[in-house]
Amino acid sequence: MTDKAAQTTPAATLGDNNDRQTVTLDEPIIRGSHSIDEIQIRTPKAGELRGLSLSNLLQLDVDTLKVLLPRITAPAITELEVDNLAPADLVQLSTKVISFLVPAEKQESLIA
């Protein structure tokens, strides 16, 4: 039954590139012998927002972002890695999250 559901689901809902943005980190995350210079962040779905306050997200609450970012980043970053992000990198990721939560017609007024 899962196969049939996957076959009848339009490709656009399976995750296209329109719901993803790439953030280049000022200070890479070091994971073992690897360095993570870029993180893709995607639009959170309602289930990924479970247990979180949207008002806290809109206020860029770090504790809330520590829960959400591991759910919507690729490669998935851990809460500890969020704790160790440079402030500028945290702000970059946070503003991408906010842009996903605001309707497109309202985003222009945020930039002004």
Measured CA to CA, the distance from residue 46 to residue 7 in angstroms comes to 23
**pLDDT in 10s for each residue of the chain, 112 residues:** 444 444 443 433 434 556 899 999 999 999 999 999 999 999 999 999 999 999 999 999 999 999 999 999 999 999 999 999 999 999 999 999 999 888 877 766 665 5
What is the pLDDT at residue 112? 52
Q: From CA 19, how far away is CA 13, in angstroms rounded?
A: 10
* Whole-number Å distance between alpha carbons of 28 and 87: 12
- Supply φ then ψ for residue 75, to 5 degrees: -65, 150
Name 36's bridge partners: 29
| 40 within 8 A of 22, measured Cβ to Cβ | yes
Q: CB–CB of 28/37 below 8 Å?
A: yes
* C-alpha closest to that of 89 among 33, 18, 22: 22
